[in-house]
Amino acid sequence: MTQVKAYEAVSATSGLQPGTIERREPAAHDVEIAIEFCGLCHSDVHTIRSEWGPAKYPLVPGHEIVGIVSRVGDGVEGFTVGERVGVGCMVDSCRECESCLEGFEQYCEVGNTGTYGVVDSRNGGVVTQGGYAQSIVVDENYVLHIPEGMDPAAAAPLLCAGITTYSPLRYLDVQDGDAVGVIGLGGLGHMGVKIAKALGATVTVFTTSPAKADDARALGADNVVVSTDPEEMAAAKESLNAILDTVAAVHDLNPYLRTLARDGALIQLGLPSEDMPPVDPGLLIRKRLAYGGSLIGGIAETQEMLDFCAEHGIVSDIELVTAKELDAAYDRMVAGDVKYRFVLDAATI
């Protein structure tokens, strides 16, 4: 075991404080990573505050991890010491079910092993601890290559926010000439805009705040629709092929469904903690619309996304924070006051 410094929550109300955690010695197929940066995701906040059910404390969050390989096990072939790598939202899965065998480890039928807060049955039943730490040890099958030349801090959010938007766009086969809507312009939404543009789509951002129009255009959006303005929503009627809904707050989807053209799809990415108003089946039926959801992406697809982003010069827009600023950053994140992702500088832990 190696003792490493980390920032952890000890209760739902403790915030994050300095602590020490143990990392296992790298086994044959393990990669030990000296963490450089870790993105701050809304899931981190929900989890450590027990908003998605009771968390297992003490708990170190963080699943947008970038760092340098410091040690590898004897059996590791895909990674070498000194290489820059990433770890996203999962560090293992059963590897045997249909989903795992098809490369959709995120939908593992036994449940994927989340990067933090989950019992790791393959490694002695310890609770996984995330990336707000100096290092992490992960099986090589769940480690990604960060392409050369990519800004490591700005690449970190690709490992959750990037893949969460890339995967549904690829699943829907979005390509040149398609029209894509993105609801919400936060960490997920801003990645959705960039990736949809790079796939060749015309992008419309839906936002409740007219003040975000310039920001949306600066990120590459072609159109901005203020969703609280019924006239603007009506003008967008049946104009889109796909919509990514990144909003986790409760909202009515029906006005957005009306902006989809025949055979369009609305994909839910944000997970509200309360029930949403019902979807009108008539809207779905009359235009053969689909309403679905999507969870991050598989490991191979995450690598594909990183390579795609490198090829298209895409990274996240970030604000770098120190470990001491984590609690304040969480409060700002909850208030929607970040452009567009906070990233922890792990050297400050």
Which positions lie near Zn ion, rule CB under 5 A? 41, 43, 93-94, 97, 100, 108, 160
Give the shortest CB-9-to-Zn ion separation in angstroms: 16
Between 160 and 260, CB nearer to Zn ion: 160
Structure tokens at 147: 């392409």
CA-nearest of 205, 188, 63, 81 to 130 is 63
Give the shortest CB-177-to-Zn ion separation in angstroms: 31
Q: What is the number of alpha carbons within 13 Å of residue 39 lying toward its C-beta?
A: 33
Between 43 and 259, CB nearer to Zn ion: 43
Give 5: exposed, middle or buried? Use CB within 10 Å, 0-12, 13-18, 19+. middle
Between 123 and 239, CB nearer to Zn ion: 123
Q: Strand, coil or helix: what is 322?
A: coil
Between 93 and 134, CB nearer to Zn ion: 93
Report CA dihedral (63, 221, 283, 251) to the nearest 10 degrees. Answer: 50
Between 99 and 241, CB nearer to Zn ion: 99
Give the shortest CB-98-to-Zn ion separation in angstroms: 8
Are the beta carbons of 341 and 187 closer than 8 angstroms? yes
- What is the residue-wise DSSP string for 191-219? HHHHHHHHTT-EEEEEES-GGGHHHHHHT
Give the shortest CB-56-to-Zn ion separation in angstroms: 18
CA distance 156 to 162: 9
Between 183 and 236, CB nearer to Zn ion: 183
Between 165 and 223, CB nearer to Zn ion: 165
Give the shortest CB-96-to-Zn ion separation in angstroms: 6
Give the shortest CB-115-to-Zn ion separation in angstroms: 9
Give the shortest CB-239-to-Zn ion separation in angstroms: 30
Name the one residue in this structure whose structure tokens are 């970190």: 156
Spatial CB neighbours of 205, under 8 Å, sequence gap ≥ 6: 181, 182, 185, 189, 193, 212, 216, 221, 223, 224, 225
Residue 340, preceding bond cis, omega within 30 degrees? yes
Give the shortest CB-78-to-Zn ion separation in angstroms: 20
Burial pattern 59-89, b for ≥16 Cβ within 10 A else e, equals bbbbbbbbbbbbbbbeebeebeeebbbbbbb
Question: DSSP letter at 159?
Answer: G
Between 97 and 126, CB nearer to Zn ion: 97
